[in-house]
Every structure is written in C-alpha cells, then in structure tokens.
Chains A and B, each alone.
Chain A
Amino acid sequence: MEENINMSVDEAAVEPVVSAEGESVAVAAAPEKPKRRINQQKLQDNIWGWIFCLPLIIGTVWFVYYAFILSLILSFTKYTGNDGSLMDAIANFDVYVNTGEWGAAHWYYDLFNYTSGTSQSWQTQGVVMNEMGRYLFNTVFYMIGIPIGMILSVFFAVCMSRDIKGGNVFRVLYYLPCVASAIAIVYTFKIMFRTDGVMNSLLGLKDFTYPDNNKGFVWIPEGVNIGYSWCTLLGKEVTVSTSDFMKDPFWCQGLFSKLVIVIMSVWKGLGGTIILYVAGLSGVNAATKEAAQIDGANGWQIFWKVTMPDLYPTIFYNIVTSVIGGLQIYAEPELLFSTSASSAGFPNVSGFVALIYKYGLTNNKEYGKGAAYGFFLAIIIFVLTLFQFWLDSRNKD
C-alpha cells in the first residue's frame, strides 16, 4: 500500500516535467509508464472507494438489512420478551417456530382473524370489523390530509412565486411548523381543541350542547373510546354513557377526533410541500408561459396547460413520499389521546404502527407477532408504492 502511494505520487510529480521538457522525451516514455500508472490509479480508486463507503454500508446492512431479515424470521416464531436472546431464538428456530392454523405463519393468520376484547360492547356492536381492519382504516382515514394539503400547498406556492416583495418571509413563516417538535404541537392542539378552547370559540361552537349537555363541541374526548360522530350528531338518542356512543359503526366512531389529526398534519406538513412546489414552479418554462399568454390563454388555462404538466414530477414525488409517511403515522394520535403513560393503541383513532407497538413491546412483548405485523406493513407500503409507479408509467404513455 505504502509503496503504491509513493510510486504514484512520484510519477504524478514527474509527469508535468516530462511534458515541459519536450515532446520527444514524452513520446519515448509513453509506451511503458501510462499503463502502470492507470493500474496504480485503479487500485487506489478501488481501495479508497470502499473505505469511504464502509461506514454507511456497515450501518445500512447491520441496522436495516440484517434487522429486516431477522424480522422475517422472527415473524414465524412465537419468540417473546420472556425468552432468551435473539441469537438463541434464531439458532433454535425449530423450537420457537410457530404452530397454528397456518403453521409457522400463524401470526399472519392472526392478523386477519384476531378480534381483541370482543367482550367490550363497542367492538361487537355496529359494523363488526377485526382489529387490523380498524387500525388500517384509521391510517387510511388520516391520508385524506394528503390531497387537501396538496391543493393548499400548490395554491400557496403559486401565490408565493408571483414576483412580490417578501415572498421569502412567507416561505420561512410557512415552514415553521415543520421544524417544531411534534409533541409540543400535539399538546398545544390538545388544549386548543378542548370543549371550552379557542377553536370552539372561533368556530362558534362554544355553546354547543347536543347530543349531551357538555358545553362545547367535543373534538377530543376525555375518556378512551368515545367521541362524536355523524351518527351521534344526526339525531341518535344519546346519553352521556360511553357505551351508547359505541353503537355507531366502526368507521363512524371518533370521526371528529380523527379530523383534528388531519387538520394538524395538514398544518404541520404544508410548509415542506410548499417549498417543494415553489422550487418546482421556478423550473416552469417562462418562455412557454409567455407564448401561451400571447396566444390569448388566460391565467387559469396557463395554470392547467403549462404550469401543471411541468409541476407533475414534483407532485408525483410528493404523493409517493406522503403516502409512505402517512402509512407510518404513529405518534400524533397516540399523544393526542393518551391519558396514561401505559396506554397503547386506541381502536378508534390509532394508526397501524400502534398495533405493532402494542403487541411487540407492551404486555407480553410478543416479538414474533410484532415482527409479523411490521412485515405486513412493509408489504402494504411496497405494494402501494409499486402501484403508484405503475400509475405514473401508464400516465406517461
């Protein structure tokens, strides 16, 4: 190694001198020297290329790929927190392997058939849905924030990219929520959306007393599983008791509580997407725009026929990343509705990740089950992403 470096350095130092002295010398030296130099250089390139990449490769393989493969293996076992180390479980796979309706894939069977706590009235009444379905429904419900946020951010981005003074100031102000800590935001919104809070004051719902005598509209319920829904608001006889709220079908329960999360995530995510769209809009061809203007197109037509096609890659990127991120929603609903440090997973409001946490890391620490649920999430995300790319490719033809 040392020798190689020295040699290449020597030759590199010699070369300019040679060319400076005269052509004849350079030609005479040419047949032998360059060949050796290139090989030296190639060796150097290979060694240093790998060295520079090594930390990142080790990190990725160790913490992502290795963990992912172990996840897949674990998902076929009944390994829990009470058992030995992870390596022990992998080595004795035949001992830990799951036995159930679908053999080793029992947790995947469980995923589609398990209905936890069916003794509770709110889970049997209304439209019955198994647990995974309820949590997935919540996750998908939160994704209605994606199109709303997209329309709003394109609108604001178009406003900002007009040549007005102080556009940068607005960009910074709109980006503020993105850098703020989720927990601070959640605690703020939790109080702002109280029955006697500022939101009800602004929306004129402070004296709202239907369907119970609670003064003010209940956005975020105090208890665990209650909350207004369309059904309760549209004339169902409701007393204050918890169980009556839960006679609504599952998709209706806690509707307005979920809406708070949607409002919050739109508010928090707007700035980031606006910056993306402003960047995308600055790339829109000004000459095409002017040509359209001269041909008599109005602003609306220019927006749809010239600006939007140019903005399409940004929008596509944005949708893909938003869907991937949206499926992984966890902290916001948990923080907004948790009442004690030990609570995990609310069937009315929690995202799918809460289910992974609930089974994998609380109570019995059923690592195998958690891993299976996690793997299922990975499959969903992968399939959805592929689907979007397929739509995109079909769109281009």
Chain B
Amino acid sequence: MAENENMVTKEAPLPGSSTQQEIRDYYSPLRYGWGAFCAFFGFSTKTHRASKKRAKLVMDIATYLVLLFGAFLMVYPFWWMIAGSFAATYPQNNTPIFTLIWWPSQSTWTMTLDKGGVKEPMGGFFNYIYFFGDAFASGASMAGFAEGFTYWRALLNNLIYSIVPVVVGVITSASAAFAFSKIQWIGRDVVFMLLLAAIMVPGPSIMITQFVMYSDMDWQVNGLVLIIPGMFGSIMTAFFIRQFLFGLPTSIIEAAKIDGAGYFRIFVQFILPLAMPAIMAQGLLSFMGCWNNYMGSFIMIPQNSPAINLPHAMYVLNNAMFQGNQGPNIAGAVMCVLPVMILFACFQKLIIGSLMLTGSKE
C-alpha cells in the first residue's frame, strides 16, 4: 500500500468519505475484487468497509467450528469407551476393539455364542454381565482377590469411601470455615496460617510414613484408611466455604445471637442452610475425587483385602485377566466413569458455578 501512495500523487479515496465508484476507479480491479471478497467475510480493507454484523457473524461461525472441533476431541474417547464396551471380544479375539473407530466390527448385539453346538445370541450387554460376574469370580484365584470378592462389593466399598468421609468431612470443614470467617477467637489467624501451610506438604512425600502409621493402627485391611482421615475435613474445602461465608452478612448471626441462639444452633440452623450451595458443590467435587481415588487404595490397601475400591479392583483384574479379552475391561471403565458423569450432568450448573467462583481446580 505504501508503494501505491508514493506512485500516485492523488490522495487515496477512503470508503465512507468517497463514493464506491471513485474507489473502484482508483484501485486495480484485482485489488478491488479482493476487497469485496474480504468484506464478504467481514474484514475491512481500503476499498470496502465490512459491516460489523457480517464481521460478528463470520467470527461466530469460526468460533463455533473451533469449539465444536475441540468438543469432539473431548467427547470422542468417551464415545469410543461406550462403543468399545459393546465389542465382541469373548473369548480370545481383541481385533474388534483394537481396530475400533466408530463402532466395533463385531458387536455383542449381533454376534452369537457357541454353547455346546447350539448358537445363542451373545446379548448386547455381554461384556457388562461378564464384568459383573465371571470376571470377579475367576479373579479371586487368578488376580488374588479375597475370597468371595465381587463387583458389588467393590461398588459398595466405593460408595462407602466416597459418601461417609465426604459427608462428615464437608460438615467438619464447614464448621471450621464458620469459625474462621464469623467468630473472633484468640489464635484464629495463627491457626489458619498453620492449616494453609499444610497444603504445601505434598501427599506423596509423606505417603510412606502415613502407610506405616496406618498399618500400626490396623486401618489398612479393613479399609478404614480411606474413611477416617477424610472425616476430619479438608483444608481446601474449608478454605473455599470460608470464602463463601465472607459473602454472607454478619447481621444474621448477630440477630440470632440477640434472639438467644448459641453458636452451635447458629451453625446448624443458619450457616449450614445458607452455605448449602458452597457445601454441596465442594461435597460433590470431593465425592468425585474419592470415587476416582485409585492411588489411595493402591498404596494403602493390600490387593487381597476385600476392602479395595473399584479402580484398584479394575487395575488388578486388568493385569491378571484382561490381556486376551479387553471388552469387559472397557465395560468396567464405563462403569467407573458413568456414576460420576451422571452426577456431574445433574449438578453441572452448581459445580461449574462453584469452580468459577472459587477458582479451584478438580
């Protein structure tokens, strides 16, 4: 453009101040056409001024395309998981799941099983039924599970580990948060800094000592290790509920005090209901964390104990049994993911809202 201005002494006509005819005469047809082309897609040039509406439309479409592509990448492995759980891999044929892209070449819906010369349909949920039943039944000897360990036991363990400590822990965290945000007591700030400093201690670096402590207390084989420590509450949860409580007016508590309520009553009747959104969101997030807690069980609980949780059981089963039959393994993966997915789908507004508010991850 700079060259153009040097060569031609006449001042370049601008869109808006000059007529379109002047501009067309001034620039070469190719340049003018290019300007029209750009303007169509919302980019202003020296020849044409694009409308803002058009620019926004084009950018919106581009944004949608980018986001849709990203969303596809995010969701595709989950679709793959679901499709894979319907691959007919029994007894020793993993090809349909290994080569799977959209839908397995041989799915459990169409394949038949040879039972003593009689062909029977496999049943669409063959892999799931196999995972719930036979996998764990033969896993007792092959993988070294405890006698009589079933999928349902693993599921029950997982539910206990992710409900009991979370419910109790969120309440103890909320009570600490209440004390930190609404009550003035001696040593409050010192204690708070002390607790916050504990976040700096990375879990893996004290995991050996914790292992020895728990094994001395006999908390491992019976699974108490995944229940009791969680019941004391978590510092991060307390921290975020505290941030939420700062937003509540103190006058409510003052009014309650004047009406003769003690702190315990204030906590149960005012703080818990009022802070429910924050408590629920933090509770759900910890529930998901506990549900997926593979490392806690793997490090702390021996694999022949009936107290191992679902991810740990899946790990043991996969290593011992699923080398030749991956379908049930992926069905198990779906069963690990599905409950938290449903929970997340139900409460996504609350969870995402809380994450955006507190700026926490996970």
- Which A positions have Cβ atoms within 8 angstroms of B? 5, 9, 12-13, 15-16, 42, 44-46, 48-50, 52-53, 55-60, 62-65, 67-68, 70-71, 74, 85-87, 156, 159-160, 162, 164, 168, 170-185, 187-189, 191-192, 194, 196-198, 201-202, 267, 270-273, 275-276, 278-280, 282, 314, 317-318, 321, 324, 327-328, 330-331, 335, 338-341, 353, 356-357, 360-361, 367, 370-371, 374-375, 377-378, 381-382, 385
Contact = CB atoms under 8 A, between A and B. Distances in A.
Contacts of A198: 80, 99-101
B340 interface: yes
A389 B3 CA distance: 50
Given A56-B176, A187-B329, A374-B207, A68 B201 contact: yes
Nearest to A278: B356
A49 B184 contact: yes
B314 interface: yes
Q: Which 6 A-B pairs have the closest CB atoms?
A: A59-B232, A49-B185, A184-B333, A374-B205, A52-B179, A370-B208
Nearest to A49: B185
In this complex, the interface size class of chain B, counting residues with CB under 8 Å from chain A, is 35 or more
11 contacts: A56-B233, A56-B238, A70-B212, A179-B341, A181-B294, A181-B340, A189-B77, A273-B361, A275-B355, A279-B359, A357-B207
Contact of A56 (B81, B173, B209, B211): B173
Contact of B318 (A9, A187, A324): A187
B205 to A, nearest CB: 4
Interface string B168-198: 0000110110111001111010010011001
B7 interface: no
Interface in B33-76: 59-60, 63-64, 66-67, 70-71, 73-75
Contacts, number: 300
Interface string B96-113: 011111000000000000
Contacts of A16: 258
B291 to A, nearest CB: 7
B355 A272 contact: yes
Contacts of A85: 216
B245 to A, nearest CB: 12
A87 B216 CA distance: 9
A180 B340 contact: yes
Contacts of B233: 55-56, 59
Q: Is the interface of B mostly helix, strand, loop or mixed?
A: helix
Contacts of A353: 204
Interface stretch (B18-26, B149-157, B259-267, B273-281): B259-267
Contacts of B204: 328, 330, 353, 356, 374, 377
Contact of B205 (A15, A65, A71, A174): A71
A191 B98 contact: yes
B258 A67 contact: no
B202 A12 contact: no
B100 to A, nearest CB: 6
A187 B330 contact: yes
A196 B172 contact: no
B200 A385 contact: yes
Interface string B317-336: 01110000010011011101
Given A279-B356, A377-B205, A341 B67 contact: no
Interface in B295-324: 295, 298-299, 303, 311, 314-316, 318-320
Given A12-B257, A188-B80, A275-B356, A55 B337 contact: no
